[in-house]
Structure formats: structure tokens, C-alpha cells
A and B are shown apart, each in its own frame.
Chain A
Amino acid sequence: GAVVSQHPSWVICKSGTSVKIECRSLDFQATTMFWYRQFPKQSLMLMATSNEGSKATYEQGVEKDKFLINHASLTLSTLTVTSAHPEDSSFYICSAIRDRDSPLHFGNGTRLTVT
């Protein structure tokens, strides 16, 4: 079945640094990718929707200058957490879809810890 690969699976960084998370669709071309954030024991909150070749659409309350999303190709989207702070520590999950009528596939998530 379709696979979405997310890398890294976990990362620890120092406060003030930037971290890039990659989301790749391995066996299909993803016209749309979604980025979610999940706090411990909580639900997934949609951060942004990323369409290949265009600017991401951010959900209300998500800082677009802090969470930079790039969807440069049909198989790769990246989320960069800029100037990370401890409160950015969370579980970030991406998902990808080939087209509107196709199922959504999730990556295994990235655990970010900012010290």
C-alpha cells in the first residue's frame, strides 16, 4: 500500500535553532500534504495544508513565519520550525493524498524536543 515516510522520527534541538522535518510520499504523487501537531494525550490539530507548487494554507492561530512549509515537489513537503522554543516541543505528523478521491496516508510522526 501507499507509504508516507517522515524524517526524522525524533529530534532534540536547542532553543533558538531551526529544525526541518521531511515528509515524503514513497509510491505516489501527493498533490496535497497536511501537517498536524499533537500534544501529549491530545488530538491532532491541523496546522496547514500544502499543495505542490503553491503557498501553504495555514490554520488560524498557526504562525506561518515560525512554521515554514515547502511543498517543492509532488513527493516531498518540509516543515521547518524556526527559532524553536520549548513550547514548540510536540509530535508533528504529516499526511499525504494523491487526489481528492484517494485515501489519506499518514507518516509515523516526528517527536520534537526543544531544550
Chain B
Amino acid sequence: AQSVTQPDIHITVSEGASLELRCNYSYGATPYLFWYVQSPGQGLQLLLKYFSGDTLVQGIKGFEAEFKRSQSSFNLRKPSVHWSDAAEYFCAVEGGKLIFGQGTELSVKP
């Protein structure tokens, strides 16, 4: 069965610092992978997705993610974090239905 693990429940970074949020997945075939962001009390916004092709995908708001099949990972990165990036981030895998990881809460220090 498909599953997604986000090992970090909460991460704090300083504004301007780089960011990497971890995501590991379990799926029998080549997965469709997603990263979503959720602001408090809001729905989800798609940051980026991987279906096939180039393993480094670019998303909105300066985010990127790299699909590494050998590590079953799809980590999200941003070179310089802004205070407005503080939110909850969800990694998801789709194999018939969309399954979300537990989420990582990002706090940004001024």
C-alpha cells in the first residue's frame, strides 16, 4: 500500500536561510508525487508535482523538489526562506488516490 512519511513534525529556520523538508514514500510503481502548502484555517495550495521526466522539479514561490528513486524520497527545498513561507507543508503520493504525509510545520525566525 502507498504511504508517505514526513520525518520532521516541526522545523524552524531563520529568514533568508535555506530550507529542506524531507519526504519519503512507499509505492510499488513510479509514483505521482506532490507538495502542498496549507496556511492556518485554509485549504491546500499545490507547490509542485512530479509525474515523470526531469527529477528536479520547479514549483511556485521559489520552491523545488528532487525525486530520488533510489532513496524513495521527494524532498522540498528553497534556497532562501521568507517570513511568509511559515505554514504547514504536506507531501503526498498518488496511486489511485491521494495520500498525505503527516505534515511539517515550518516556522520562520526574523
Seen from chain A, the residues whose Cβ lies within 8 Å of a Cβ on chain B are 4, 6, 34, 41-46, 49, 91, 93, 95, 103-104, 106-109, 111
Contact between chains at B99 and A6 (CB < 8 Å): no
Main secondary structure of the interface of A (DSSP, over half): strand
Main secondary structure of the interface of B (DSSP, over half): strand
Count B interface residues, CB 8 Å.
17
Contact between chains at B103 and A46 (CB < 8 Å): no
Q: Closest residue to A94 on the B side, CB-wise?
A: B43
Contact between chains at B97 and A46 (CB < 8 Å): yes
Contacts of B36 in A (CB 8 A): 106
Would you mind naming 27 contact pairs between A and B with Cβ atoms under 8 Å apart? A34-B98, A41-B105, A42-B102, A43-B90, A43-B100, A43-B102, A43-B103, A44-B44, A44-B90, A44-B100, A45-B100, A46-B97, A46-B98, A46-B99, A49-B97, A91-B41, A93-B43, A93-B44, A95-B44, A103-B46, A103-B49, A104-B46, A106-B44, A106-B45, A107-B43, A108-B43, A109-B41
